[in-house]
Structure 1
């Protein structure tokens, strides 16, 4: 067997392997999408039925989401979009500043600060919940979006990622900016931020997904139904007295749309940022 034939065979095996992985990943999404067009009675009657039967499919579940009592879903969706957008943008800015400072400058105590960042990354959320809860109660921001966003507005994971990315960039750009009379903050905004676009793209997707799917902390902070985010709202549809699968499945289908769109629109920066940040530093 020639080397060329071996390479072609290896390529074919890799393609088949990833096709199988894609099928395994997409199959539950396909079933959820098909189930969203069926009533809960039909789901319980036929179980895991993947056939497309037009007579049993309709848009009643989606109409229920946006009419009558189901219109509360619009509040959940709006809340999730607002919290995710604001949290991601602010977190990217602040975390990138800290990561930039740790990666681009040498100062006394730099290594200690970086070790503290790594230490915070290893601390589970469950350990921090009680002191954080007492803090936001004392600040008077319980049952507010600020109470959801502020405790985690600076991400240790993002700081570590930006720090690793910055150490792989040439410092000559910074020296050139100083020669031209640019301030240190101006160097960051005008010179380094454009060079860090792949890192912003990759970390933007990761932070947005994390904030969009966040459940435990918003559940602790938010109290009223109209303040809920999508994960909390959908979970509230399941209770010991009955489960509203009609709204639950249709709402879950609509909930994954923003994440999919974000990745499709930013996938090049995501792949470039992760590959560059992973091999440099």
Structure 2
């Protein structure tokens, strides 16, 4: 068997593997999408399944969602606002910290970086109670700020930007300083554009984490009007009544914002993750 034939077989097997993996990943979304067009009576009698009888499909669930689901769109709006602020704030502030740890030499730099590494090892769940007490003390319970502030800067994002910034050419910064550029100007005009892959990768990850965050908003938010989508959709299933039709259609629409974010930043995602993971 020639080398070309072996290479083609390996390539074919690799393609089949990725196709099979993609099928496994996308199959639940297919079931969710199809079930959103089924009447509630069929969902209760047959449960979630892959059957798609055209004569039973209906758009009643979507009509109900857009006409009666005022609470759902309030949850949608809350999630969008929280996700946008968290994502933008996280990548900007964390990039400042990571850039400083990578470029500047100052007393205590290694200690600070060691603390960042240590915080990466601390489970977030054990911080929920002290964070909640802080939110009560600050009067931020049941507010956007209470959801956003505790996690707007995370050790993982700082670590990623630090690793990425280490590989940036320091000579450019020195040249800019000689030309009279300020330190912030060096960052904003020269280094930040070179870090666009890192910004793209972290924007996707932070947006997904914020959009899907369930535990912390569940703890800090109280009123129905301030709920985010994960909490609101979970509240549709209770011992007192189940609205599976709205749950499935609403869950289908929740994929759209993250899909848009990924399509917008996807050209930076792979290069950002690859380079940021190996530099330093």
Q: Do both share a fold (TM > 0.5)?
A: yes
> Match of 1:41?
41
1:161 aligned residue:
160
Q: In the TM superposition, what is the alpha-carbon distance from 1:30 to its structure 2 partner?
A: 0.6
Question: Residues 237 and 196 from structure 1, CA distance in 2 versus in 1: closer, same or farther, beyond 3 angstroms?
Answer: same
Query: What is the rounded CA distance, in whole Å, between the counterparts of 2:181 and 2:264 in structure 1?
Result: 33
Matches within 5 A, 1:121-160: 121-160=120-159
**Rounded Cα–Cα distance in structure 2 between residues aligned with 1:182 and 1:265:** 31
Whole-angstrom distance in 2 between the partners of 1:25 and 1:94: 33
TM-score by length of structure 2 reads: 0.97
Aligned equivalents of 2:118 and 2:127: distance in 1? 13
The answer for the alignment partner of 2:3 in structure 1 is 3
Structure 1 residue 91, shift from structure 2 partner: 0.8
Q: Distance in 1 between matches of 2:191 and 2:165?
A: 9
| Residue aligning to 1:195 | 194
- In the TM superposition, residue 49 of structure 1 has moved relative to its aligned partner by 3.4
Match of 1:76 in 2: 75
Unaligned runs of 5+ in 1: none
Per-residue deviation, 1:242: 2.2
Cα shift at 1:67: 1.9
CA distance in 2, matches of 1:48, 1:147: 36
TM-score by length of 1: 0.97
Q: Any idea what SS the aligned residue of 1:54 has? A: coil
Deviates more, 1:53-62 or 1:96-105: 53-62
Q: Which residue of 2 aligns with 1:113?
A: 112
Deviation per residue, 1:116-162 (Å, 9 max, x gap): 01111111122111111111111111110001101111111100000
Q: Distance in 1 between matches of 2:121 and 2:184?
A: 30
CA RMSD, 1 decimal = 1.0
Identify unmatched segments of 5+ residues in structure 2.
none
**Equivalences for 1:177-216 in 2 at 5 Å?**
177-216=176-215
For 1:126 and 1:31, the matched residues in 2 are separated by 31
- Whole-angstrom CA distance in 1 between matches of 2:114 and 2:26: 39
Distance, in Å, in 2 between the alignment partners of 1:231 and 1:173 is 45
| Residues 213-246 of structure 1 deviation map (CA, whole Å, 9 limit, x = unaligned) | 0011111111110110000000111111222101
State the Cα deviation string for residues 96-126 of structure 1 (Å, max 9, x = none).
Answer: 0000000111111111100101111111122
